Amino acid sequence: MNKKKLSFIFFIVCILTVFVSLSLTKAAAETSATTSNSKTVDTITSLNITNEKGGNLDKDLQQWVTFKLNANYDLTDKNVKAGDTTTVDLSDFLYIESQNFEIRDEKTNEIIANAQIDETKKHIVLTYTDYVEKHSDTKGSFYVYTRVDFQKHPEEGEIPVEVTINGKAQVVGKVNFTGVGDGNPVLFSKTGWVSSEDQKTLSYTISINRTKESLQDATVEDTLKFSNASYIKDSIRIIKGKFDYVKGLWEFTDRTDVTDQHTVTVSEDGQSFVVQLGDITESDQYRIEYKVQANYSPADGEKLNNDAVLKGKGKAVKYVEQSTVVQVAGGSGVGYVFTINIHKVDDENQPVAGVKFKVVRQANNQVIGEYVTDAEGKITVTGLLKDKYILTEVEAPKGYVMKAADTEVNATDFGADKSVTKTIVNPKEQTTTTTEAPTTTEAPTTTEAPTTTEAPTTTEAPTTTEAPTTTEAPTTTEAPTTTEAPTTTEAPTTTEAPTTTEAPTTTEAPTTTEAPTTTEAPATTEAPTTTEAPTTTEAPATTEAPKTTEAPKPADTTTTEAPKPADTTTTTEERPSLPFTGESTSLVLVLTGVVIMSGTVVMKRKFTK
């Protein structure tokens, strides 16, 4: 009974193993078929050549000068599948300077195709991803940097730019080449390039004494002209050797590292170094090699400048500036071709002239410059890279409030015309009206009105007592003239009560004429002269304080500074990986099945014994 059960279990395991193995083999075969069924597709619709900045190629090319080969592609109705390819071959007279890159969707940043470049074969192979199966009517453009291969074509003359697409040749244009010449030997020169493996690493060489001259107490000083980068100190090497110009190239042979024989001093900030070479004879030739590490990713088309100076006794100073241009294939809108427009207005949307701005590139804190708005309140900053910039207002004209917050311009703000406009509001100062309010505080000087208490000097009226005639008392009735002050408040007309001072006319009783001395009491009626205090009603002049209602109007808000939607997004640092075929997974699973079957057989034999 047990043997029958074991036999049945063994049979089931075998069936399952075979089934799984066949399923996996079929899946692997389908994957392999998908890969093997990939085809070549003709998607390139047009080609053209331009200079490095995308402009007309209207100048003769020297041996190291590059230009751009631009291509437009369209996958509409091409039935393109993942794994399909397009091949672009360059003529033998051209050399591709670019490295592998990806073609990406400008909005989603998904990879449409991987471009692999073979410098030796001088061709580019585009391999499409499954993106093309998920999207319709895909179209776009790409470009690569190229130059004349002067070792294949050293002569001066016109060279046709021939490109072959999937075996079909076409002439895209022509370039004029100056030839290699004699190499232009000089006492002091410098070259630089960006690492093909890491765009943040730059390599430089300084060549000394190709002209075979003598120089006493020679020193070389090198200085970086771009920030956010520094020398890799251990990379500075001093090599002694021999220069020869062969087939358009300066060769440096018989190399000997003599770094430890010379003093190398790097500045504390890592932005410069000095090499003491000492006395140089006619037969002494040197090359100084070093690397620079940038702390950011340089943009395509960016120029990285640094200077070198050679000094010596009895010799004129030799100065050379090296501009290393970063060139990354694949992206669009490359080079110093972007523009920022600044429009300055007040809170009534009227242009404001005379506002000074500082423009800084954020990546390396490079100050692009300071600019002042014109009569129309405008500034145009050209020759920029597609990168992030900070606009800082540093000075505003009199009568306007300076904007404290910086204005940012992001790389994604630039439109199809490679420009962006930022409208920035400067509200007018309201201090001219609000400061008047404090002057109204001088109104408290109306407290000087109490100086109207000098009115009691009208108490001199008692001098009227010198005249027994009370008729002078009516002069006190002049005090009612002070009742004119109540014109500010008609209510004080009740002060006409002092007309009761006519009662002193009752003093006509001669017997009581001394009573007029009591008419000094009416002098107290001069207290109504204190009704001049209503002149303190001038304090209502403090009602000028309501002018403070002229407090600054709320600043008009603008949303124009909000970044515009991204127009393009290009990333070229990631490299493509090989396609997944599924063969490795199939093999592992088949082997697993074999192991299971073997184990089952062993167990069966064990139990049958």
* Model confidence pLDDT, tens digit, residues 564-577: 333 433 333 333 33
**Bridge partners of 263?**
276
Residues 240 and 298 in one domain: yes
Q: Is residue 389 part of a domain?
A: yes
Across residues 508-530, what is the average pLDDT? 38
Q: Is residue 520 part of a domain?
A: no
As a whole number of angstroms, the distance between CA 310 and CA 436 comes to: 66
Q: Is residue 488 part of a domain?
A: no
Q: Is residue 582 part of a domain?
A: no
Residues 216 and 119 in one domain: no
Pairing between β-strand 338-345 and β-strand 419-425 as defined by DSSP bridges: parallel
Residues 192 and 270 in one domain: yes
For tokens 């006519």, name the residue. 502
Q: Is residue 439 part of a domain?
A: no
Task: Report percent pLDDT > 90 for the chain.
Answer: 40
pLDDT band at 609 (very low <50, low <70, confident <90, very high): low
pLDDT band at 449 (very low <50, low <70, confident <90, very high): very low
Residues 278 and 253 in one domain: yes
Q: Is residue 238 part of a domain?
A: yes
Final residue in a domain of this structure, among 425, 445, 465: 425
What was the pLDDT predicted at 321? 72
Tokens of 486: 């109540």
What was the pLDDT predicted at 496? 39
Residues 265 and 383 in one domain: no
Which residues form the domain of 206? 188-325
Across residues 577-606, what is the average pLDDT? 57
Across residues 204-209, what is the average pLDDT? 95
More confident residue, 540 or 108: 108
More confident residue, 568 or 336: 336
Residues 320 and 194 in one domain: yes
For tokens 């407090």, name the residue. 551
The DSSP code sequence of 224-273 is: E-SSSEEE-GGG-EEEEEEEEEETTEEEEEEEEE-GGGSEEEE-TTSSEE
As a whole number of angstroms, the distance between CA 562 and CA 422 comes to: 9
As a whole number of angstroms, the distance between CA 576 and CA 100 comes to: 8
Final residue in a domain of this structure, among 157, 177, 197: 177
487: pLDDT strictly greater than 70: no
CATH code, domain carrying 69: 2.60.40.1280
Pairing between β-strand 366-372 and β-strand 101-104 as defined by DSSP bridges: unpaired
More confident residue, 107 or 204: 204
As a whole number of angstroms, the distance between CA 73 and CA 42 comes to: 9
Q: Is residue 259 part of a domain?
A: yes
Q: Is residue 365 part of a domain?
A: yes
Across residues 257-270, what is the average pLDDT? 94
* Model confidence pLDDT, tens digit, residues 342-373: 999 998 899 999 999 999 998 888 899 999 99
For tokens 């003529």, name the residue. 91
Number of Cβ atoms within 10 Å of the Cβ of 260? 7
As a whole number of angstroms, the distance between CA 401 and CA 344 comes to: 12
pLDDT band at 213 (very low <50, low <70, confident <90, very high): very high
As a whole number of angstroms, the distance between CA 366 and CA 533 comes to: 69
Residues 133 and 218 in one domain: no
Which residues, including other chains, have CB under 8 Å from residue 203's CB and lie 6 or more apart? 192, 193, 194, 195, 289, 290, 291
Residues 205 and 307 in one domain: yes
Say how many domains are in the chain.
3
* Model confidence pLDDT, tens digit, residues 47-56: 999 998 888 9
**If we measure between CA atoms, which residue out of 169, 384, 409, 204 comes closest to residue 290?**
204
Q: Which strands sit side by side in the sheet containing 378-384, from one edge to the other?
A: 378-384, 338-345, 419-425
More confident residue, 435 or 298: 298
Residues 103 and 70 in one domain: yes
What was the pLDDT predicted at 184? 82
More confident residue, 430 or 56: 56
Residues 109 and 214 in one domain: no
Burial level of 335, CB count in 10 A (0-12/13-18/19+)? buried
What was the pLDDT predicted at 34? 45
What was the pLDDT predicted at 7? 63
The DSSP code sequence of 512-579 is: GTTGGGGGHHHHHHTGGGGGGGGGGGGGGGGGGGGGGGGPPPPPPP--TTSPPPPS------S---PP
Counted residue by residue, the chain has a size of 609
532: pLDDT strictly greater than 60: no
Residues 252 and 133 in one domain: no
Residues 173 and 192 in one domain: no
* Model confidence pLDDT, tens digit, residues 6-25: 666 666 766 766 665 655 55
pLDDT band at 593 (very low <50, low <70, confident <90, very high): low
Final residue in a domain of this structure, among 398, 425, 452: 425
Phi-psi region of 156 (alpha: psi -120 to 50; beta: other; left: phi over 0): beta
CB 307 within 8 A of CB 292: no
CATH code, domain carrying 400: 2.60.40.10
74: pLDDT strictly greater than 50: yes
As a whole number of angstroms, the distance between CA 324 and CA 194 comes to: 7
CATH code, domain carrying 199: 2.60.40.740
* Model confidence pLDDT, tens digit, residues 266-300: 998 889 999 999 999 999 999 999 999 998 888 77
As a whole number of angstroms, the distance between CA 21 and CA 480 comes to: 126
